[in-house]
Amino acid sequence: MAMSSFFLLHFLLCLCLAFISVWLANHLQKKFAQAYLSAFLYYVIAAVVYGFFNWLGPGLMLQTLSGHLAEKQMLDVVVLLSLFAFPVLLVKIYFLIELTAAILEKAISLLFKRCFTVISLAFILIYVVSVKLYFDSGLENWMLRITEIAGALTVIAQLAIILFLFFASKSIAEKQKRSAVRIFALLFLTGFLLYVMFSYSLLFTRMTWIVQAVPLLYFLVPLPPLVFSWRFLGAYYLEHPLLPASGDNLNRFAAAQHLTGRELEIVRMLLNGKSNNEIAEELYLSPHTVRNHLANIYKKIKVKNKLQLSYLVRNFFK
């Protein structure tokens, strides 16, 4: 009974961490006009769903069915849940790619999306066939080997994406944003590495505290980057309620800073999270012309980058 109570507490704690992550991601996405926050929210949702199928679901089933099912039948339940978990894991990886691209203000090509879809469907097909062979022929070793290979490949893919974000951040011109992206990536990387180290340690030990720590570490992974985003965006970026309905505020700011109509339009789009290329496309300008306008804006209001511009506008409204 004591073990059941401990498991219930552990289960509820994991659910609380999952709820906090989704709530915070959704709150940030609604509050701030930053393109990467939508991808971050979808990533967190996919991560929570995967965590349920991969960690909470099996634990709950084994806890409730223990004593009612044979060991082979309990293993069948875990394998069946993994069949649902694997496609969600691939969706999670895709949104991690979307998140990285949005932070770096890069567009994901249609060719890449199609290739990712084809590769994902191929992996899912292999996994489904492996599960069918397991249930039809009892090939436990084959199923275990496929699971290990799939797990290793997905871990490597996620580590590669996070490391790419860290090293690609050097291309970001704005110093404050570049530093923020590196901290964001390091927080992500640290949490993910801790989770991976503990989860793979389960292959060598079944110590209770390690078994209980792995799901908690998994649901903790997105929280540090989310909290950092909340602090950073709160300091440097405007909230949605001021945008874009607060046209009068922006007009007063533009008048005070002697901005032209075109410059005001660019400022409004910047504060709505648009990149230079997106502004150029929507205004039918070349990226070079947009950069020239930005240089004039920065010179007039005496700032050096978008972050300082956002901070100045925010304090002006106050």
| DSSP annotation string for 112-166 | HHHHHHHHHHHHHHHHHHHHHHHHHH--HHHHHHHHHHHHHHHHHHHHHHHHHHH
CATH code, domain with 45: 1.20.1070
Measured CA to CA, the distance from residue 235 to residue 229 in angstroms comes to 10
pLDDT reading at 158 higher than 80 = yes
Q: 163 and 218 in one domain? A: yes
Name the domain boundary from 236, 256, 273. 236
Task: Report pLDDT for 75.
Answer: 79
Q: How far apart are CA 151 and CA 117, in angstroms?
A: 18
Residues 130 and 269 in one domain: no
End-to-end CA distance of the chain: 57
| 141 in the same domain as 40 | yes
Q: Which domain holds residue 274?
A: 240-317
Residue ending a domain, among 204, 221, 236, is 236
- Cα gap 232→289, rounded to integer Å: 29
Indicate if 115 and 222 belong to the same structural domain. Answer: yes
The arithmetic mean of pLDDT across residues 273-284, rounded, is: 86
Q: Which of 207, 236, 265 is the last residue of a domain?
A: 236
Distance CA 293, CA 111 (A): 33
Q: Are residues 212 and 261 in the same domain?
A: no
- Cβ distance 221 to 195 under 8 Å? yes
Same domain membership, residue 86 and residue 167? yes
Rg (CA), the chain: 24
Question: pLDDT by residue (tens digit) across 51-100?
Answer: 999 988 887 877 777 667 677 777 788 888 889 999 999 999 999 999 99
According to the model, what pLDDT value does residue 4 have?
67
CA distance 83 to 54: 10
- The predicted model scores a pTM of 0.76
Residue of 261, 247, 263 lying closest to 299 (CA atoms):
263
Instruction: Provide, rounded to the nearest whole percent, the portion of the chain with pLDDT above 70.
Output: 88
Domains in the chain: how many in total? 2
CA distance 236 to 226: 15
What is the percent of the chain where pLDDT is above 90? 46
The least confident of 106-115, 201-210, 260-269 is 201-210
Q: What is the pLDDT of residue 62?
A: 74
Residue 297: give its domain's CATH number: 1.10.10.10
Which of these ranges, 42-46, 77-81, 118-122, 219-223, has the smallest mean pLDDT?
77-81
